[in-house]
Amino acid sequence: MSIKHHLSDELLVEYAAGHLAEGWSIAVACHLAMCPDCRARLALAEAAGGALIDTIAPVAGPANAWERMRARLDDAPRQVAPPIARKRPAHAVIPEPLRSYVGDIDALKWRNIGTAHQVLIPTGDRETQVRLLRIPAGKPVPEHSHGGRELTLVLTGSFHDEVDHFGPGDIEEADGELTHQPVADRDEDCICLAVTDAPLRFSSRLVRLVQPFLGI
């Protein structure tokens, strides 16, 4: 697998600093699981951040800081969630950061949204919406732009748009300046992880009319 579309430096630094919302972090972590080059870049970013922290002079906290923390820990409810049984997918399409959210890809219930199918992925993140998209081989997604940022990570199959061609492990970062129409290649369905922070802006008036019912 040859990956040619990687994480931007901005995203990588935000991830290393722990500043990304959960949805963005899922997409970044999944790309990192598939891309050794970006894992090496992340290690450098984390090392640079550690070196910067070492230059910061320590500041004394309250004298009773430990006692206050211990009291909060003692007051916290002690609940242990039961382990969730997850089936390993028949073929390793979904990297582990995402597999913990969705389980077996063969058991997913895809919802038809016109020319594609989707599965919404619930998170505790109110900033983003996370979904799996399955675009049938040779079929397009309606032309659209974006009201904010969109990250699209190819898990299996491939697609092309006005920007380039994207295969397994490739990630596309889009914003309000990009208008495109992804089209799945003809050899197989394309399954992507897509994360957005605003509704898509479709060029077609008909698609805009049904958009509230499609949840996109």
Segment 55-59 mean pLDDT: 68
- Whole-structure pTM over 0.85, yes or no? no
Answer yes or no: is pLDDT of 26 > 50: yes
Give the pLDDT score at 53: 59
| 216 band by pLDDT with thresholds 50, 70 and 90 | confident
**pLDDT higher than threshold 60 for residue 10:** yes
**Length of the chain as a residue count:** 216
Bridge partners for 190 per DSSP = 135
What pLDDT does residue 84 have?
41
User: How much is the pLDDT for 56?
Assistant: 66
Which residues, 6 or more positions from 129, have their beta carbon under 8 angstroms from its beta carbon?
23, 120, 195, 196, 197
Domain 1-58+95-216 has CATH 2.30.30.90: no
Share above pLDDT 70 across residues of the chain, in percent, rounded to a whole number: 83
pLDDT (0 to 100) of residue 194? 96
Tell me what pLDDT residue 212 has. Answer: 74
pLDDT, one tens digit per residue, over 170-215 is 999 999 889 999 999 999 999 999 999 998 888 888 777 776 766 6
Q: Please give the pLDDT value at position 76.
A: 57
- Annotated domain spans of the chain: 1-58+95-216
Rounded Cα distance, 119 and 109, in Å: 7
Q: What is the pLDDT of residue 11?
A: 94
Structure tokens at 68: 């206050």
In angstroms, the CA 208 to CA 71 distance is 53
Unique residue bearing structure tokens 């950061």:
97
Distances, alpha carbon 123 to alpha carbons 21, 128, 195, 198, 199, in Å: 10, 9, 11, 16, 17
User: What are the two backbone dihedrals, phi and then psi, of residue 84, each rounded to the nearest 5 degrees?
Assistant: -100, 125
pLDDT in tens, 110-165: 999 888 999 999 999 999 999 999 999 999 998 888 889 999 999 999 999 999 99
Identify the DSSP state of 197.
Answer: S
